[in-house]
Chains A and B, each alone.
Chain A
Amino acid sequence: MSSAVDAAAEEAGGRGRTDGDGRDVPGWTPYREWFRARWAEGGAVAWATALAHLLVGGALFALVAGFDLGTLPIGGSLVWAVYLAVVVAVLYVAAAPPAEPYVAWLDDRWMESDADKLLIILGHVVVVFFAFAVALGLPFNGLAGALGSVLFFTAVYSMMVLALNLHWGYAGVFNIGVAGFMAVGVYTMAILSTPADAGAASVPGLGLPLPIGILGGMIAAALVGLVAALPALRLRADYFAIVTVALSEIIRLTLNSRALQEFSVAGVTTGTGGATGISMPGNPVRLLFYDGFGAGAEPALLGSVLFPLFDGLRVELIPPNSAWLGVVPLPAFTLDLAVQPTVISNWAYVAVLAAFVGLFYVLMVRTGNSPFGRVLKAIREDEAVAEALGKDTRRFKIVAFMFGCGLMGLGGILWQGSQGFTNPGAFRPILTFYIWVALIIGGAGSNTGSVLGGALFAGLIWEGPVYLRRVVTNYVDFGATPSTFPGAVAPFAEGEVLPFLAFLLGNVSALRFILVGVILVMLMQTRPEGLLGHRKEEAAAVPLAGRPGGDRGASPGAAVADGGADADAGDNTTTTTDGDTR
């Protein structure tokens, strides 16, 4: 029997155990067992039970959460702590029983295929942000805007992580200069494609068509990659890492310098714009909606159709001052689905980015499965062996490195280039580390993991805490936020915790970094391979799952592409080397 099924059982069992342990509320177990039994009956009974449970739980929560603490005779942090604990407990008690079948269902789906994994993660990100929007009382437009921005970051991080995965996950090249290669791509595109009469705000460009600019940016990034890789790939992995990060700083400092701010070559004036930055050609997606790039552009094409359509999307379900049967007064209710034009064009760009993520993904899967990709993986596992088999490992690594750098350039253009303006400050080394964190969360060596990592990083680590802060400050009045740490901890002496909490919430952008750091350390300690990065794959060129005796219908392409848990079903034909030793 294959280890895949074992892994599935283990995973399900593991989750079940932890969930079971965590949910053993004294006196609560009989109810949970009753709930489980009703759920097992299936059909209408199960759904009715779950629905009734959620309704009762919701009512209970509304009751608890609706208390106005201001009316209590005693104030202070103790009451707050008790209140918070009660709210959390009610939420927990309400959520635990239905969560059980849900988690089991998720476990089932999770093992199905890569698309399911992606849908599960993206679905949860969307649900979490929906909850944020509801808690903030945002209108539909606000929800669409928030989701649009989360999905934008998901897409750009996914692209960068996919490109980085080619370096680290496939070829085993430790590149921590991603930001530098992005900068080369973005700046080359900007210089090539910005109109020569860019106006007073920015340095003039060469005014070439945008596709040439984008292609030029990719080629430039790949060439810089070549310049870096040609000599440096001989170095040990950690030396190479430091060379790449130094190179990315050299690139940033050079772009930042006044010397290259504006220069003339052969009578053509252009430049990097120095520290003030450089403006870039308009986003072509905008032309789908407007007749120009300027602020006063009129809606055109799709814009002239969609903008009025979404602008008036308000359905008055119950008009004001109406009454049921002319007797019982009803509250007014309007279904407000109106969406602003900017949100619509943002979503359109997110759709374009999603298409590019798909393109990157397919490209990476194809590369990984090609003979070229197999050699890369062999190099990653053991370079000496690959060399002994007659492969020119140096050439393979250089080509893979250039390819990845070109994609990083393209990713950078799609990310930073979409905003019409950029400056060297956007390409600090910290950006490289964000992309690395996303890669490690998803799992090196797995393309699906790369996209998952991008989504988790963008949604839950990057944007999540900021929204959480908004939600909390929306509901809880912390009073004045102390501006310094001593001011925040001093009230501890009087038993006041709120100023400290307020201070932490005010610094949520810094807390986010601490969170990233702690997650990185914990991942490295407990799960260095990330969510999906098993790095075990079939060595055979033909899919083994379809053989007679193969007992699973898992899509072979996905399994091979990903090296996921269900790919190691073969017997002697599997390579099971662990790639993390490099």
Chain B
Amino acid sequence: MGISETYARGRELVVSRPFVLVVALVVGLLFVDIVRQLATPGGLNAGQLASFLWDGLVTGLAIGLAGVGLSMTYSILNFANFGHGDYVTSGAFAGWAVTWLIAGAGQFDVATLLFIGSLSTSQLGVSMFGTPLAVVAGLVVAAVAAVALSLVIDRLVYRPMRDEGGITLLIASIGVALALRYTIYIVWGQRTRGLTDAQSVPEVALGGGFELGGHEITLVVIAAALMLGVHLLLQTTKLGKAMRAMADNEDLARVTGIPTERVVRYTWTIGGGLAGAGGFLIALERGAMNFQFGWILLLLIFAAVILGGIGSIYGAMFGGVTIGLTQSLSLVWIPGEFSTVAAFGVMIFVLLFKPEGIFSGVTTA
């Protein structure tokens, strides 16, 4: 024990893992800069910083929630599903149609409600606090619809090609994505529609200009609960064990007697359900959606999932929050148009130095 040993350890760290040092240095510098900006009068204030952090957390949890499904299908079916973003959109549209139907039943024309047509959102007055029943029903329908959709698509598209390579399935999933997105386009139209009544959502002011929106809190609570549920499911049930076995080695799992097709169906069920619920919650938090919001989100979801290591569920959650925080905290230094660039940049940066992602090797656990 002594200085020499500590020195040797330090040297080894520098030589073998310079990436860790670089990251530590960069993060440290950025932290120091934030402190400096906070200290500067007229610069960043604590309320702003807190809002950035909170926004990042909210976006990150939404991305992570959608990402868990992507990560699960990746680890068990071995392909990157480019249609996942459109499962998110489909779920959201189905869920919001039901929410509107329940909230506006009797007041408005059923067709207009079902196709989320042009209505004054303040007249309809949908919000978690104004019409909780409609929102919860919508959330459930969103999840169920996305589950049904993903099971049907699995039956029609992916099951006949179960033995194909990952790239073949990936290309097929691009086809699924296009077909789904433009079916939604044809049925619901191109319009970006307002969904909730912003006036009726309470906000919790915490001082310094820092406010927590009611829908943001809803999203965080539900997302955290769902993620905890997935965690318990994977850790404590037999199904979770079977899934982890399949992610590890599918042939071995089948030999052991695990009904792989059934596990695949459960995977789509959980993944699709989370995608639909995630889409519904994101639309709730934003108060608006259009036919391609899931697709635009997909790249960020991929960034999150890859950042954490494809196949790892905690990686997806962690990656989502990291991407969300990167996006919002980058506003401290660079203009808003570059926040997505920053998120992608962080993903590429991590991949270059740790190609298997941060939570690599911890598949579906």
Chain A interfacial positions (CB closer than 8 Å to B): 174, 231-232, 234-239, 241-243, 245-247, 249-250, 253-254, 256-259, 429, 433, 436, 440, 484-486, 490, 504, 507, 510-511, 513-514, 516-521, 524-525, 528, 580-582
Pick the contact of B111: A174, A236, A486 (CB < 8 A): A486
Cβ B178 vs Cβ A249 within 8 A? no
Cβ B168 vs Cβ A528 within 8 A? yes
Considering only residues 324-361 of chain B, those with a C-beta below 8 Å from chain A are 335, 337-338, 340-341, 344-345, 347-348, 351-352, 355
Pick the contact of B303: A246, A257, A436 (CB < 8 A): A246
**A residues in contact with B347, CB < 8 Å:** 243, 246
B176 within 8 A of partner (CB): yes
Min distance, Cβ A346 to any Cβ of chain B, angstroms: 30
CA distance A412 to B263 in the complex (A): 45
Pick the contact of A253: B115, B170, B182, B337 (CB < 8 A): B337
Min distance, Cβ B155 to any Cβ of chain A, angstroms: 13
Cβ B167 vs Cβ A259 within 8 A? no
Cβ A524 vs Cβ B168 within 8 A? yes
B179 within 8 A of partner (CB): yes
B213 within 8 A of partner (CB): no
Cβ A484 vs Cβ B189 within 8 A? yes
Min distance, Cβ B110 to any Cβ of chain A, angstroms: 9
Cβ A237 vs Cβ B166 within 8 A? yes
Task: Given A249-B344, A524-B175, output 4 extra A-B contacts at Cβ < 8 Å.
Answer: A238-B167, A239-B310, A241-B170, A582-B165
CA distance A516 to B175 in the complex (A): 7
**B residues in contact with A521, CB < 8 Å:** 157, 172, 175-176, 179
B120 within 8 A of partner (CB): no
Pick the contact of B182: A256, A484, A517 (CB < 8 A): A517
Q: Would A582 and B167 be within 8 Å (CB), given that A234-B355, A239-B306 are in contact?
A: yes
Chain B 153-180 per-residue mask, 1 if CB under 8 angstroms from chain A, else 0: 0000100110011111111101111111
Q: Would A513 and B179 be within 8 Å (CB), given that A237-B166, A259-B338, A582-B165 are in contact?
A: yes
B117 within 8 A of partner (CB): yes
Q: Would A433 and B174 be within 8 Å (CB), given that A249-B340, A484-B115 are in contact?
A: yes
**B residues in contact with A238, CB < 8 Å:** 79-80, 166-167, 170, 310
CA distance A429 to B292 in the complex (A): 13
Cβ A259 vs Cβ B337 within 8 A? yes
Cβ B352 vs Cβ A232 within 8 A? yes
CA distance A232 to B352 in the complex (A): 6
Pick the contact of B161: A485, A517, A525 (CB < 8 A): A525
Pick the contact of A510: B168, B186, B302, B341 (CB < 8 A): B186
Chain B 54-84 per-residue mask, 1 if CB under 8 angstroms from chain A, else 0: 0000000000000000000000000110000
CA distance A249 to B303 in the complex (A): 12
Cβ B114 vs Cβ A486 within 8 A? yes
How many residue pairs link A and B with beta carbons under 8 A? The number is: 143
Q: Would A440 and B171 be within 8 Å (CB), given that A433-B178, A525-B161 are in contact?
A: yes
Cβ B178 vs Cβ A513 within 8 A? yes
Min distance, Cβ B62 to any Cβ of chain A, angstroms: 19
CA distance A155 to B115 in the complex (A): 41
Q: Would A520 and B178 be within 8 Å (CB), given that A253-B337, A581-B165 are in contact?
A: yes
CA distance A243 to B175 in the complex (A): 20
Cβ A235 vs Cβ B351 within 8 A? yes
Cβ B335 vs Cβ A258 within 8 A? yes
CA distance A514 to B86 in the complex (A): 13
CA distance A484 to B188 in the complex (A): 8
**A residues in contact with B182, CB < 8 Å:** 510-511, 513-514, 517
Cβ A243 vs Cβ B348 within 8 A? yes
Cβ B165 vs Cβ A517 within 8 A? no
Closest to A526 in B: B160
Cβ A580 vs Cβ B302 within 8 A? no
**A residues in contact with B80, CB < 8 Å:** 238, 241-242
**A residues in contact with B235, CB < 8 Å:** none
CA distance A433 to B161 in the complex (A): 21
Cβ A517 vs Cβ B111 within 8 A? no
**B residues in contact with A258, CB < 8 Å:** 335, 337
CA distance A155 to B337 in the complex (A): 35
B181 within 8 A of partner (CB): yes
Cβ A524 vs Cβ B340 within 8 A? no
Q: Would A253 and B179 be within 8 Å (CB), given that A241-B80, A580-B165 are in contact?
A: no
CA distance A486 to B115 in the complex (A): 7
Would you mind naming 23 contact pairs between A and B with Cβ atoms under 8 Å apart?
A174-B167, A238-B170, A238-B310, A239-B355, A241-B170, A242-B306, A246-B299, A249-B340, A253-B340, A257-B337, A257-B338, A429-B299, A433-B178, A507-B186, A513-B179, A514-B178, A516-B178, A517-B174, A517-B182, A521-B175, A524-B169, A528-B164, A580-B165
CA distance A559 to B331 in the complex (A): 57
B185 within 8 A of partner (CB): yes
**B residues in contact with A239, CB < 8 Å:** 306, 310, 351, 355
CA distance A253 to B189 in the complex (A): 26
Cβ B111 vs Cβ A256 within 8 A? no
Cβ B310 vs Cβ A253 within 8 A? no
Cβ B171 vs Cβ A436 within 8 A? yes
Closest to A274 in B: B337
**A residues in contact with B164, CB < 8 Å:** 524, 528, 580
Pick the contact of B344: A250, A256, A484, A485 (CB < 8 A): A250
Cβ B355 vs Cβ A485 within 8 A? no
Min distance, Cβ A69 to any Cβ of chain B, angstroms: 28
B183 within 8 A of partner (CB): yes
Closest to B117 in A: A484
Cβ A524 vs Cβ B341 within 8 A? no
Pick the contact of A520: B171, B188, B337 (CB < 8 A): B171
Min distance, Cβ B128 to any Cβ of chain A, angstroms: 27
Cβ A243 vs Cβ B172 within 8 A? no
**B residues in contact with A241, CB < 8 Å:** 80, 170
**A residues in contact with B345, CB < 8 Å:** 250
CA distance A446 to B166 in the complex (A): 21
CA distance A581 to B340 in the complex (A): 34
Pick the contact of A259: B181, B299, B335, B344 (CB < 8 A): B335
Cβ A520 vs Cβ B341 within 8 A? no
Min distance, Cβ A244 to any Cβ of chain B, angstroms: 10
B3 within 8 A of partner (CB): no
Pick the contact of A524: B172, B177, B178, B189 (CB < 8 A): B172
B8 within 8 A of partner (CB): no
**B residues in contact with A514, CB < 8 Å:** 178-179, 182-183, 186
**A residues in contact with B176, CB < 8 Å:** 517, 521
**A residues in contact with B165, CB < 8 Å:** 580-582
